[in-house]
Structure 1
Amino acid sequence: MTDARFEDGAERPLRLVALAPDDLPVISALVQDAVFTAADLRWSRKGRRVDVLLNRFRWEDRAAAERAGRPYERVRAVLTVQDVTGLAAQGVVPGDKDTVLSVLALEFTPGADGTGVLVVVLAGDGALRMEVECVNLMLSDVTRPYRAPSGKAPHHPEG
C-alpha cells in the first residue's frame, strides 16, 4: 500500500475526511487560498455542524496545468465540520455576502479527551474558532473545476 498522491485525484472530485489531528495538514493545504463570504457559512447549533461553501484553488492540479500550459482552476467545495459545540468569529460579519474572506490555514489545539479547538485562520486577522468534541471534518468538491478568474496561482511571499 502506498500513500496517495495529488496526481491520483486526476479529474475526479475530492472527498477527503479528517478524523484525527494528523489528518488536518492535508485538508489545510487543499483549502489554503479558498475564498468565501459569510453568507456561504452555515452553523447548525442543533445539528452541531458547520458548513462552509468555498471557491477552492485546485492545488492538486497546479503542476499539471503548468506542464500542459492550461489555465489554473478553482472548484466549489464544501468544508463540513461535525461535532461542533461552539462557534466564534473574528473579522466575519454574519450573513455578509459582499466581503470576500480568504482561508490561510486550519489549526487544531487539542483539549481533554479528544476535544479541542479548530480554527480556520483567515487573511486580514480574521478567524472562525470552533470548539469541537473531536476532529471530524470532510472536504467535498461539489462542482466541476472552472478556470480561475484571476488566471494566476495564489502566491505567498516569504517574509
Structure 2
Amino acid sequence: MTDAIAHKAPMTDLKLLALDSEDLEIVSAHLQDAVVRVGDMGYSKADKRFVLLMNRYAWEAGDARGRGQRKRAGLHFDHVTVAHADGFDLKSKDGVLELLAVTFEPKDAPSGEVLLTFAGGGRVRLEVECLEARLRDLGGVWAAKAQPKHDVD
C-alpha cells in the first residue's frame, strides 16, 4: 500500500475503559501530551465524577515523517470522593495545561488515588472508592502543528 493511500485510511475513534492500574497505563499512553484548558476540567461532588475535555495528540495516527493529528477527547473518572488541584491557577479558566501522565496508586483496595500530572508541576489528585475511568474520542480531528518532543536526560 502506498503512503498516500495509507494516510487517507480512516481512523477509529478511541473508546477505552480503565478498571485497574494496567488499564490506566494504556489510557495514559494515549493521553500523553494532551492539552487541557483549566476551564474544561470539573468535579461534581454530587455525582462523584471528575471530567476533563482535551485535545489529545493521537500517537497512533502519526506517520513515518512525524506528521500527526490532534483529536478532541473526553475523560471521566467515577466514584471520586475528593478532588485536589495544585501547581496551577483554577481561576484562570483559559489557562492551558499539558498532560504528561495519569497514574493510580491503590490505598485500601479497591480505593486509591488517581494522579494527573501536567508539565510545569501542575497536578490533580483524585481520591476514588475504586478505579473506573473512561476515555472517548469526541469526533474533532485536525492536523497537529508539531509532534511533541521531550528532553530525556
TM norm. shorter chain > 0.5: yes
Aligned-pair CA distance for 1:93:
2.2
Aligned-pair CA distance for 1:96:
2.2
Letter matched to residue 115 of structure 1: S
Residue ranges of structure 2 left out of the alignment (5+ in a row): 1-9
Look up the match of 2:32.
32
Aligned-pair CA distance for 1:98:
2.5
Report the TM-score when normalising by structure 2.
Answer: 0.89
Distance 1:108 1:70, change over 3 A: closer
Aligned-pair CA distance for 1:91:
1.9
Distance 1:144 1:98, change over 3 A: closer
Q: Matches of 1:71 and 1:27 in 2, distance apart? A: 22
Letter matched to residue 151 of structure 2: P
Identity %: 35
Deviations 1:108-159 (A, max 9, x none): 11111210000000111100000001110000000232111x2x11011211
Q: Matches of 1:99 and 1:38 in 2, distance apart? A: 5
Q: What is the aligned-residue RMSD (CA, Å)?
A: 1.4
Report the TM-score when normalising by structure 1.
Answer: 0.85
User: Equivalences for 1:50-65 in 2 at 5 Å?
Assistant: 50-62=50-62, 65=63
Structure 1 or 2: larger strand share?
2
Match of 1:73 among 69, 73, 78: 69
Match of 1:128 among 124, 127, 133: 124
Look up the match of 1:154.
148
Q: Matches of 1:13 and 1:107 in 2, distance apart? A: 23
